[in-house]
Amino acid sequence: MEKSKLNLCGLIAEFFGTMLLVVFGAGIASKADTLWAASIAFGLVIMALIVTL
């Protein structure tokens, strides 16, 4: 039970990590400060989510 939950958390973390990299990369490419700030905020939310899981 615990192992499957851990694998699920890993998959979710990997998925959101990839999304974060895409958003972060887009922010750098367009040099949009708002998008860059949003990607950092998004990353913090995901980290908090992973910690609570």
The answer to whether 35 and 23 are in contact (CB under 8 A) is yes
d(CA 21, CA 41): 13
The 10s digit of each residue's pLDDT in 36-45 is 777 777 888 8
Res 2: pLDDT: 65
The domain segmentation of the chain, as residue ranges, is 2-52
Res 23: pLDDT: 76
What's the predicted TM-score (pTM) here?
0.42
